[in-house]
Amino acid sequence: SDASQFANGSLGANYRLTPKWSANISLFPGGGGATDWTYSRTGGIGAGETSQSQDRMIRLRMFMGQISTAYKYTDKLSVGLGLIVSKQDLITNSLDNAFNKAKGGTPGTKDNMLGAGGQIGAVWAPNKKVSLALSYRSQVYHQGIDTYYNIFNGPINTPSQWSAGLAFKPWKGADIAIDTRFINWKGVDSIGSSPQTDGGFGWKNQWAWYAGIQQRLMGDKLTLRAGWAYAKSPIDETHVFANVLLPAIVEHHFNIGASYKLPWNKTEIGFSSYYAPVVTLTDTGNGDAFSQNGKGTKFSHYQYGAQLSVKKTF
């Protein structure tokens, strides 16, 4: 695939309203992806297509904003509530599960969809060295698709998620965090339903695991960070052909980063990078008709990226 580079960024601001209340606003990427293959997945069959021009590319972009508030119930317990808004756009020339091209317009037209959802969470710190967190994020529900209504069998919602985490301070200047998250892809029809019969992509639910450590040095001016994340691919060996345009199969992520507090204006600069090693998946042909006819279909996926950051305290 030639779709290999993406630029993104995030922005956030937090303000303490009272000793117990605070407010936050944040803007951040919400997911998505893109592929642009040289050849059509279906070899130009279906919908009267006799060329390689169809069923070889997709681009889904999503950007989100969240307005949230937190309340410090006691010195040990804080709770928070957030409203999420989302903007998606979609371009594709994919065919549907009956090998028809887009019925709502011309393939390659950009569709725009708005969405909204919510999040609630709590943090409990029984002492100064340990804290526990629990949160729930609803689906972010999006508008239906116009041009590609037959390609996707419903809105492309982001899945609901449960998260739990533990953070502790094992020695001076150090923080270690361990988190887990359940991602309910099966609850999103357009992604989790069966490819052949329902027009979905057959994604499975995921359990994701995260671990990270940071060490503050030089009187807390310099912070070094490292982390790891793992989630088994939501795509299995019987749904490879169905997901050629959405090959989200990377499993391990490794990241490092650092930040430094500048000696003026309460400003902190930072850098981070990540690498997701290559994963290769081949369709066994033991699934539905898509899998049987697409037996031997193989793709590989890896990712890497970097980020610069600036933090300002007022």
Is residue 171 domain-resident?
Answer: yes
Rounded-to-integer distance, Cα 155 and Cα 149, Å: 9
In the numeric block, the tokens 């057959």 are attached to 202
Residues for the chain: how many in total?
314
Q: Report if residue 22 sits inside a domain.
A: no
Q: Please work out, in degrees rounded to the nearest 5, the angle formed at the alpha carbon of residue 309 by the alpha carbons of 33 and 12.
A: 80
Q: What is the pLDDT of residues 147-159, one digit of tens each?
A: 999 999 999 999 9
Rounded to two decimals, what is the model's pTM? 0.92
Ordered DSSP codes for 267-305:
EEEEEEEEEEEEEEEE--S-SSHHHHHTTT-EEEEEEEE
Give pLDDT tens digits for 105-122.
999 999 999 999 999 999
In a domain, 53, yes or no: no
Q: Return the closest-CA partner of residue 73 out of 35, 36, 146, 20.
A: 20
Indicate whether 262 belongs to any domain: yes
Residues 6 or more apart whose CB falls under 8 angstroms from that of 239 comprise 195, 201, 202, 203, 283, 287, 290, 291
Residue 45 CA to residue 203 CA, distance in Å, equals 25
Structural domain span for residue 185? 79-84+96-312
Domain count, the chain: 1
Q: What's the rounded Cα separation, in Å, for the pair 129 and 114?
A: 41
Residue 257 within any structural domain of the chain: yes
**Per-residue pLDDT for 263 more than 50?**
yes
Lowest mean pLDDT among 23-27, 243-247, 256-260: 243-247
pLDDT in tens, 184-195: 999 999 999 999
Q: Does the residue 41 lie in any domain? A: no
Residue 215 inside a domain? The answer is: yes
The CATH code of the domain that includes 256 is: 2.40.160.60
pLDDT, tens only, 175-185? 999 999 999 99
Q: Is residue 12 part of a domain?
A: no
What does the pLDDT average to over 223-247?
96
Can you tell me the distance from the alpha carbon of 276 to that of 199, in angstroms, rounded to the nearest whole number?
Answer: 29
The confidence score (pLDDT) of residue 6 equals 63
Q: Would you say 255 and 226 are in contact if contact means Cβ atoms under 8 Å apart? A: yes
> 177 near 212, Cβ under 8 Å?
yes
Grade residue 1 by pLDDT with cuts at 50, 70 and 90.
low
